[in-house]
Structure 1
Amino acid sequence: MKRILFSLALCTCTFLQAAPNLPDERLNALAADPYWIALGHYETGKLGGWRSYVDDEQFFLAANGDSDPTAELAATLKALYAPAGSGDKHAQCVYPARTRWLREQLQLRDLPQPACSEFTAWFKDIAPHSSVLIFPAAYLNSPSSMFGHTLLRIDQADVQSNNTALLSYALNFGAFIEGMDNSILYAWKGLMGGYPGLFALVPYREKLAEYRSLENRDLWEYRLNLTPEETARMVEHVWELKQIQFDYFFFDENCSYRLLELLEIARPGLELTEQFPLTAIPTDTVRAVKNAGLVERTDYRPSREHELLARAKPLSSEEQDWVLLLADGQSQLNNPELQRLPKERRALIQDAAFRLTRYRANGEARDSASAQRSFALLQSINQNPPPALEVKRPGLPEDGHESRTWQLGAGSRDDRAFAEYGLRMAYHDLNDNMYGFPLGAQIEILQLKLRQYESNHWQLQRLDLATIRSLTPRNQLLKPWSWQVASGLERVHGEDGDERLVTHLNGGAGGTWQLSDEMLGFALGTLRIENNTDFATFIAPAAGFNTGLLWHNPLGNLSLEAAGDYFYNGEVRRKLSLNQQWEVSRNLGLRLSAQREFSQLSAPENEIKLELKWYHY
């Protein structure tokens, strides 16, 4: 009798713990739900069907789960009803976001109750309540940061009342790099998906130090209006992605695109990723988040470099000399000449010297001499405090022009009329509409220009793979190098008076100086290698120069440049160019270009062109 009762009880328990047997129609409908598609990071395959962005088989419970959302859902539902004794390895512990959604959709009230101690402790430590989208501004001297970056800050309930943002967590998606790849290899592998991408939750203070101090980047903080429930839903899914690998691509499957996916998990019904079928430039994704009505407040945190420059701006040249002396040795604090200066001026000088000392220490090993200088300056600042520092807030980066540019031009080259058609995938040059961008920064990726001459003669005028220029001005306190690099195909003078399409790689370095608030002057030495059918050797090297002025005027941006290349084989090329852009609107510009080219292979040639630029994603 006892055996019979035990068997009946066992059967009853087994029945109660069995996964529901859903009709195929219901199962298929759930698997096609946009939220399940989002949880699996699925997209429509190029040849039909589905494929998941997740490139890690550990993420899936079904053998074909990366391409079959229905099979993955059925496998998940079955796993949720497995015996609870597996503890932290139970599917409910590994997939809390899936569990929550399926429980709500199917009203699952008979699920086993495993002890998910690891997830519970992790979730309690994070204590998610609200979210902030963080945008560290573009930083040209870091290949991974040329377009900016986005991450999320997960805040606890008291973060605003107690000002405890440094205790929050930063949710970041980035390329996982083993070893020390150089910048060129890093850029190439990033373009081609050569690195795995991983999500990570780290203390926010670590990310703040990395972006604001070490890389001297301004930070923009966009407080989102996600509810505590929505924020918790997103963090639960992050647990599911712990140590799960994605392919990482700079232009599309990058930090910004992955975060948009998480926001779609947080608030079902958002359609953010659909706006980025080809590229996902961080500023464009910030704009998409803002346009979706998710942003309730925007805060600006200037970098240490901008704080230093703002403090030093009212100082005279002699006072900035004192800043350098104080940053080099604290013994100058008691110099009688310094003490004779007005108290208010000494306060500014000491504060600027302290900021310069901290700036120089970024990324360097802490040494006792630097620590002593900082301490002595801090003591002097406490005795004679300066007024509060005010840093002018720049234009919002998302309010700048959009990233992709269509170009339509007409002009004349040595009395030959032409029309020109162009497309640039990303995203800004020295003359483009400037709002939201720093003066002297240029990043162009994949630019194509086709030219149609009279008699319907068509030719490829240029194909730029990448053109990057960083013209950061030098001053008494900071002396950064300016540099540029470019690669692709372009037209140059040929021996028979025609133009040759050549392959080139060139770069240069030098200095930039602030001539006025809105004008820069620059001078760079350059090197170039070129493959040209007119040359005897396969690769011809050249040394040269590039110098000019960049002026932000009431109409827009004007650049005046002179450049020259002196080839090893004796060929000499020189060029004078003038470009003025009229900023018609945020996403529309009209550019007048004029240039005169000199070459030993042919007579000088003049070109003038009027070009309409439409910035459109």
Structure 2
Amino acid sequence: MLKRLAWLALCVCAPLYAAPHVKDDRLQQLADSRFWVAIGHYEAGKLGGWRSYVDDPKFFLAVNGAHDPKAELAATLEAIYRPVVEGKENAHPQCVYPSRTRFLRDELKLTDLPAVDCKEFNKWFSDVAPDSTVMIFPAAYLNSPSSMFGHTLLRIDQAGVEANKTALLSYAINFGAYIEGSDNSILYAWKGLMGGYPGLFALVPYQEKLSEYRSLENRDLWEYRLNLTPEETRRMVEHVWELKQIRFGYFFFDENCSYRLLELLQVARPSLNLTPQFRLTAIPTDTVRAVKEAGLVEKIDYRPSKERELLSRAEPLNHDEKQWVLKVSADQQQMQSPEYLAVPKERRALIQDAAYRLERYRANGLERDPVRSQRSYDLLRAISTNPPPELEIERPGLPEDGHESRTWQLGAGTRDDKAFAEYGLRMAYHDLNDNAYGFPLGAQIEILQLKLRQYEDSRWQVQQLDLATIRSLTPRNELLQPWSWQVAGGLERVLGKHGDENLVSHVNGGAGGTWKLGDDVLGFALGTVRIEHNNDFDALVSPAAGFNTGVLWRNPLGNFSLETKGDYFTNGEVRRNISLNQQWELSRNLGLRLSAQREFSQLTSPVNEVMLELKWYHY
């Protein structure tokens, strides 16, 4: 009885707050505003209405808030007037939704809101101390399926970061797939394509992300300082608090890290219109280009990866000196041997520095090892007594200045004595012969490519439908020995019985090595396996082992390739192919390719094909 009386007395004594009555048309006006649409992550439905990209019901205060911005706004207005419960201030809607609260307070001139002490939010916001924004682009890293398109994140700097050079103390806003357990790379790629993971925003120390992307994954970093004002940066960070542990859909090609960060930039500056141009795919380089074209970038800085630093330091060394790098890295006692001391002092300085960088490169991602740490310390002591010249690395071409990701293709050619026209579309985004600027030689990522062929007798056929083709031809050298690999799957035409061409489904892959044969020349050799469904074969699926070898040459005209491959099926079929391709780079987004190939099969006579193809890179 006493408890009930005490509670009644508390309710009588507590101040009462009520949300003001706002006219319906004013509520609609606010709900349609660019800022409210941005913080609700709404998009206009194709058949009318709205839908939010947020998949988490706890983000919304209205039952139908995911589809009704006006209902969500009205529910928020009611919620921020709720009485404050002592001891639960941090759970009050004003503390959970500071960005929404500020918007409504400013737009409706609310002066009678309950006073709430949001200690958790205030401390978090004070620790971040947002003042300016830098967009970070870790370049593509083909040996990681989650990173093969590159990535983007936002660094939030405090005031005076550039003058004090304290960027490592900043925070980073990152959006990524939330993975429970340890899925392997193939499962990760599949679930990422199909939306099998939820996506979460996170605000983490920038130093952690820098270590992860620059050292652990050996990726170059590009830093784009944005011209957002301190007020715009603070507005964006306020909204990030509202997204803590809020789940979104996550898809590699559209609703990914880059697309979500574009949404945040639209929260910071609602006048921006960045996301509508990325309805089908949001490749990170395309989103970087969109941010740049919107006039947001005021400065660009480049940070080379640890791998690039190591290779740049070792580049002037000859074969014998690189062998010393390996010896000295493994055993520091070698630095006291008469043979080593006979090496000129200035060359020893380069060897020791390269050995230290190699040792640190090998330690990436490993737990601390006292023996390895001692080796690094011994090398640092040698470097301090005989320092090398400062390492200078030439900045590569800006990744956003490469060709755009979607490709339209129009070709004409002959197959033996039959003329044909070929029409193609590739959703993303680069093959070995495409326009070279901004892309590493030996990198290929093609997603969803369709080619239709029309022969001179008006016969049409599907020539090719690739789901994905990925090739990573990274050259080996005396210090680093990376594997080259490839994987592909889809439909393609192959030679069949009686001179026919069959459309077969296949999955294939391979691994091997790539070597640098000269300036801008690579040679590669891979062993391959293939599984194929072919109506000419008795079995439902037929396996094959084979090879894939070739030469790539980046020349003044563009990219040249000469390639041979063969598949030896267990049912006795032998299929081989030799092809030649040369691309002329007419402009950044226009290329002309001449291709020729000769195909062999046990089932029929050899076939020759020549084609001239125009490629238009267009998003």
TM > 0.5 = yes
Preserved contact between residue 543 and residue 565 of structure 1 (Cα < 8 Å) = yes
Match of 1:115 in 2: 117
Aligned to 1:4: none
Alignment of 1:245-264 (within 5 A): 245-264=247-266
Query: Hey, what's the Cα distance between the residues in 2 that align with 1:234 and 1:23?
Result: 28
Correspondence for 1:335 among 337, 346, 364: 337
Letter in 1 for 2:509: G
Name which of structure 1's ranges 542-551 and 331-340 shifts more when overlaid on structure 2.
331-340
Find the partner of 1:184 among 186, 196, 210: 186
The corresponding residue for 1:28 is 28
Q: Which moved further from structure 2: 396-405 or 96-105?
A: 96-105
- List aligned pairs for 1:554-569, cutoff 5 A: 554-569=556-571
Structure 1 counterpart of 2:196: 194
Preserved contact between residue 400 and residue 438 of structure 2 (Cα < 8 Å): yes
Please name the residue that 2:573 is paired with: 571
Residue 5 (structure 2) aligns with: none
1:350 and 1:13 map into 2 onto residues whose CA distance is 73
Report 1:398-547 matches (<5 A). Answer: 398-547=400-549
* Residue number in structure 1 paired with 2:46: 46
| Amino acid across the alignment from 1:87 | E
Structure 1 Cα separation of the partners of residues 12 and 330 of structure 2: 80
CA apart distance, 1:47: 2.9
What residue number does 2:301 align with?
Answer: 299
Distance in 2, Cα, partners of 1:437 & 1:32 = 41
Whether contact under 8 Å (2:561, 2:580) holds in the other structure is: yes
Between the aligned residues of both structures, percent identity stands at 74
Cα distance in 2 for partners of 1:138, 1:13 equals: 57
TM-fit CA distance, 1:158:
2.1
Q: Does 1:173 align with 2:163?
A: no
Corresponding residue to 2:238 among 233, 236, 239: 236
**Inter-partner Cα distance in structure 1 for 2:401 and 2:84:** 52
User: 1:158-212: CA deviations, max 9, x gaps?
Assistant: 2111111111111100000001111111111111111000000111111011000
Structure 2: how far apart are the matches of 1:79 and 1:565?
A: 67
Moved more, 414-423 or 43-52: 43-52
Secondary structure in 2 matching 1:566: strand
**Map of 2:278 onto structure 1:** 276
- 2:3 is aligned to none
2:337 and 2:21 mapped to 1: Cα distance? 86
Mapped to 2, the partners of 1:321 and 1:157 lie a distance apart of 47
> 1:84 touches 1:115 (CA, 8 Å); kept in 2?
no
1:368 counterpart residue number = 370
Is the Cα–Cα contact under 8 Å of residues 595 and 608 in structure 1 kept in the other structure? yes
State the distance in 2 between where 1:25 and 1:354 align: 68
Show the counterpart of 1:139.
141
Q: Do 1:527 and 1:544's aligned partners in 2 also have CA atoms closer than 8 Å? A: yes
C-alpha deviation, 1:46, in angstroms = 3.2
Give the distance between the partners of 1:227 and 1:31, measured in 2 at CA: 25
Which residue identity is paired with 1:110?
A: D
Amino acid at match of 1:456: S
Letter in 1 for 2:22: L
Q: Aligned-residue CA RMSD in angstroms?
A: 1.3
Q: Which residue of 2 aligns with 1:213?
A: 215
Corresponding position of 2:81? 81
Q: Deviations over 1:350-400 (max 9, x none)?
A: 000000000011112221221111000000000000000011111000000
User: What amino acid is aligned across from residue 60 of structure 1 in structure 2?
Assistant: F
Partner of 1:3: none
Aligned to 1:70: 70
> After the TM superposition, which of the residue ranges 27-36 and 232-241 deviates more from structure 2?
27-36
Distance (whole Å) between structure 2 residues aligned to residue 128 and residue 12 of structure 1 = 36
- What SS is found at the alignment partner of 2:492? strand
Q: 1:223 — aligned with what?
A: 225
Is residue 506–residue 527 contact of structure 1 (8 Å, CA) maintained in 2? yes
Task: Render the CA deviation track for 1:455-478: whole Å, top value 9, x for unaligned.
Answer: 210000000000000000011000
Structure 1 letter corresponding to 2:525: A
Q: Secondary structure at the match of 1:442?
A: strand
CA contact (8 A) 1:130 1:231 kept: yes
The SS at the match of 2:137 is strand
- What's the CA shift for 1:10? 7.5
Deviation at 1:110, TM superposition (A): 1.4
Which letter does structure 2 place at the counterpart of 1:319? Answer: E
AA of the residue aligned to 1:36: W
Distance 1:542 1:354 in 2: 44
Secondary structure, counterpart of 1:496 in structure 2: helix
Normalized against structure 2, the TM-score is what?
0.97
1:392-411 deviation line (CA, Å, top 9, x unaligned): 11100000000000000000
Q: 1:323 and 2:325 equivalent?
A: yes
The 3-state SS of whatever aligns with 1:20 is: coil
Q: Give 1:13 deviation, angstroms.
A: 5.6
In structure 1, the gaps of 5 or more residues are 1-6
Instruction: For residues 21-71 of structure 1, give each alpha carbon's deviation from its aligned partner in whole angstroms, at most 9, with x where no partner exists.
Output: 111111111111121111100111233211110000100001111111111
**What is the CA distance between 1:339 and its match in structure 2?**
0.9
Give the distance between the partners of 1:514 and 1:391, measured in 2 at CA.
19
Amino acid at match of 1:471: L
SS of the residue aligned with 1:226?
Answer: coil
- Per the TM alignment, residue 254 of structure 1 is displaced from its structure 2 partner at its CA by 0.3
Q: Compute the displacement of 1:11 (Å).
A: 11
Give how far 1:89 is off: 1.0
* CA–CA separation in structure 1 for the residues paired with 2:393 and 2:506: 42
- Partners of 1:427 and 1:394 in 2: CA distance: 20
**Contact 2:38 2:270 (8 Å CA) reproduced:** no
Contact 1:212 1:304 in 2 (8 A): yes
- TM-score normalised by L of structure 1: 0.97
Provide the rounded CA distance (Å) in 1 between the counterparts of 2:120 and 2:514. 54
Query: How far 1:84 moved relative to its partner?
Result: 2.8
Instruction: Indicate the residue corresponding to 2:95 in structure 1.
Output: 93
Residue 84 of structure 1: SS of its match in structure 2?
coil
Gaps of 5+ in 2: 1-8
| Residue 158 (1) aligns with residue 160 (2) | yes
**For the residues of structure 2 that align with 1:369 and 1:80, how far apart are their CA atoms?**
58
The C-alpha deviation readout for 1:414-449, integer Å capped at 9, x for no partner, is: 110000000000000000001000000000000000
Mapped partners of 1:367, 1:68: distance in 2? 56
Deviations 1:88-116 (Å, cap 9, x if unpaired)?
11111111111111111111111111010
